[in-house]
């Protein structure tokens, strides 16, 4: 009976697992990004220059790819929450939740916007700037490891291709 139901569903909805779903470019880019971010976080967790509390959070997998969005997109001189959310491709509410968490960890703080009294800016704290520097170094190391894994020529082509694709 179950076999007949599976067969009927397969005919009705198409093949159970079409191969293209596992091998298309978007899926591969997603896997590559997750692998890259996981490596960056692992490097940051083992970095002695990262404030200990933040290093411990990274080591215990409390800091994830979503938190990297703040590190990756927050301007050094600060950003409004709406601009930060837009840059990271997230909703304002989701980014607000991440900022709340990062603020509790001491990575960022909210300050009045000097150009608009009604607005607030999210800015890195001193610990957040140390985190950002550790992120920079970890990204450089992860990029070097990528070059070593695939070769310099392939790494260059991938970087140029992604840059061209992202700026269209």
pLDDT at 77: 92
Q: How confident is the model at residue 81 (pLDDT cuts 50, 70, 90)?
A: very high
Helix (H, G, I), strand (E, B) or coil at 105: coil
pLDDT at 84: 93
**CA gap 137, 61 in Å, rounded:** 19
| pLDDT tens-digit map of 105-128 | 888 999 998 888 888 999 999 989
pLDDT above 90 covers what percent of the chain?
46
Residue 3 has pLDDT above 70, yes or no: no
**CA gap 120, 165 in Å, rounded:** 33
Token output for 121:
């800016």
């Amino acid at each position: 009976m179950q076999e007949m139901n599976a067969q009927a569903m397969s005919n009705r909805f198409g093949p159970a697992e079409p191969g293209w779903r596992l091998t298309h470019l978007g899926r591969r880019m997603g896997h590559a990004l997750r692998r890259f971010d996981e490596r960056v976080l692992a490097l940051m967790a083992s970095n002695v220059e990262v404030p200990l509390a933040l290093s411990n959070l990274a080591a215990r997998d409390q800091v994830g790819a979503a938190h990297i969005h703040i590190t990756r997109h927050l301007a050094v001189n600060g950003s409004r929450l709406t601009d930060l959310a837009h840059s990271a491709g997230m909703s304002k509410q989701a980014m607000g939740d991440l900022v709340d968490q990062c603020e509790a960890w001491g990575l960022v703080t909210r300050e009045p916007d000097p150009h608009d009294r009604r607005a607030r800016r999210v800015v890195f704290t001193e610990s957040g700037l140390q985190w950002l520097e550790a992120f920079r170094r970890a990204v450089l190391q992860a990029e070097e490891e990528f070059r070593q894994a695939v070769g310099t020529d392939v790494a260059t082509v991938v970087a140029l291709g992604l840059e061209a694709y992202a700026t269209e």
